[in-house]
Amino acid sequence: MVKPPAGSGCPTAEELYETWMKQHIYVRYDKNPRLRHYLRITIGTDAEMDAVLLALGQILGKNGKKCDE
């Protein structure tokens, strides 16, 4: 389970889920109040790991800052 950063301009777990589904990066999102801030990511291949890391880099930015900070 991962919790996306909560900085200014950061997407919510639900927004990430919707964006990544469109990019064919399949993660699990649950609207349960205890889990709605988290995503479950399962990675099976090196190519899948590369795709997730690239997508995370686009969100966090190249310099490692969180979202729009």
Q: Are 68 and 7 in contact (CB under 8 A)?
A: yes
Q: Which two tokens stand for residue 43?
A: 């990675």
Beta strands in the chain (DSSP E): 28-29, 39-40
Residue 30: what pLDDT? 96
With bands split at pLDDT 50, 70 and 90, how would you rate the model's confidence at 52?
confident
For the chain, give every domain's residue range.
1-69
pLDDT at 65 (0 to 100): 56
Residue that wins the pLDDT comparison between 61 and 50? 50
Residue 17: predicted pLDDT: 93
Over residues 52-69, mean pLDDT: 70
| Of 15 and 64, the one with more pLDDT | 15
| pLDDT over 80 at 67, yes or no | no
Q: Which residues pair with 2 in a beta bridge?
A: 39
Q: How far apart are CA 40 and CA 16, in angstroms?
A: 11
